Structure 1
């Protein structure tokens, strides 16, 4: 058994180009990976795998999925050959069922780019087993929080609950000529500052109601699937968790790359 409780994480993965254009997020993710206690496994929750109810990827050797199109050909050669963790499925499924969630297994499922692209920077050795968890859909912030809370006991068993999404995610405003170091849009700055303030204050009700309360919420997230892993990580950490902010800058003017580590009380 581990000698310390694992934190929970929310990491922004931004664009599929992150492995080739890490920008200011690259050093942050590398430092975060070095600072983390070594987990037994990583349970990854990404908006790039959705299903009607939770599904666990139980492959012994999950494939690196290049689930995008029209990007630099070099991206399609990249691999993240982490082992899987099917031996953990039963205990994870038991927690989900106890909380009222149906759950299935997919022994063929690989790792989508939302999972492997930041892990490739954080943990390049790819020697820690990774198990993906499908995002049940439809889902909202409160349900994502509840789903994370159901999995909280895993943090005492050496499991790193790894939520990956984007703190802002409006691809309608992404311009092909944009650069990772373009100045951030004003609405992005306002939304990020509000989110950070609420996280620092531990104001869970405000965060779960962000679509009504946060400035420019609908512009920062026309749909909110990329922010839901943040609430999942918050729910797993529980009330009173200490947030540790990791600044990743803003890519292409509108993709905030910040990350948070939540240490349970």
Structure 2
């Protein structure tokens, strides 16, 4: 079986599911352009567990509406993809073998970091999906190590998706239109990250908090960038990353997407 895709996707606002935009159109064509995976595991910015990662084992994961203040139409979307409890259970054991304390969650559904991009990529919802959580309080290096524990899934036909946002400061959102231009403090950070991701300068990317311009301003908290490090870890040391999409939404959200070889 061919190696399954490994992606980092910026999911931006939940409104990505409803609003036509460059990022929405990109995701529409992305699913059709990729080899069909046996299953998909999503590591989303919107699920964190204390002391170690959690793995979702639900056979029919419900659609989670973990947001507020959006149009009712957004909460009417249902993404009824099946779960993959047997595979997820095996993955939980695999992560434990890598030295993590793992929790198993029998009923947890798909948060919007998972279902929003997948509903655009795979609207038929016919590919099994499960999630692995981030580790609350852990940084880039621990999440890269988590990614390494997932790496072998790709040879089993399982697509790995890290779903976050290359920039994510909603404190400076200010309700601007989706087409608002990005300020320099956003573009400089995004450009810095791209240059180092593209040349596989892992040490610099892992130390982005200290080295990248405006790092803390773009990520007051780290959860939306941590899925990138999971993807990097799953890719392995000799990998290469290709930026497959770049756009900005609402000025402050860099919607970059990467595929790892």
**TM-score class normalised by the smaller sequence:** over 0.9
Q: How many residue pairs get matched? A: 260
Q: Deviations over 1:228-262 (max 9, x none)?
A: 00010010010121212122410001101110010
Structure 2 CA distance for aligned equivalents of residues 119 and 186 of structure 1: 31
Deviation at 1:130, TM superposition (A): 0.4
Deviation at 1:125, TM superposition (A): 1.1
What CA RMSD, in Å, does the superposition of the two structures yield over aligned residues?
Answer: 1.0
Structure 2 CA distance for aligned equivalents of residues 129 and 63 of structure 1: 13
Structure 1 CA distance for aligned equivalents of residues 2 and 199 of structure 2: 25
Deviation at 1:90, TM superposition (A): 3.1
Deviates more, 1:227-236 or 1:241-250: 241-250
Structure 2 unaligned blocks of 5 or more: none
Deviation at 1:8, TM superposition (A): 1.2
Deviation at 1:22, TM superposition (A): 4.1
Structure 1 CA distance for aligned equivalents of residues 121 and 244 of structure 2: 13
TM-score for both structures, normalised by structure 2: 0.97
CA contact (8 A) 2:199 2:240 kept: no
Structure 1 unaligned blocks of 5 or more: none
Deviation at 1:123, TM superposition (A): 1.1
Q: Deviations over 1:139-182 (max 9, x none)?
A: 10011100000111111111111110000000000112x11111
State how 1:1-265 maps to structure 2 within 5 Å. 3-52=1-50, 53-176=52-175, 178-263=176-261
Structure 2 CA distance for aligned equivalents of residues 136 and 234 of structure 1: 16
Deviation at 1:27, TM superposition (A): 1.4
* Structure 1 residue runs of 4 or more that deviate by more than 6 Å after TM superposition: none
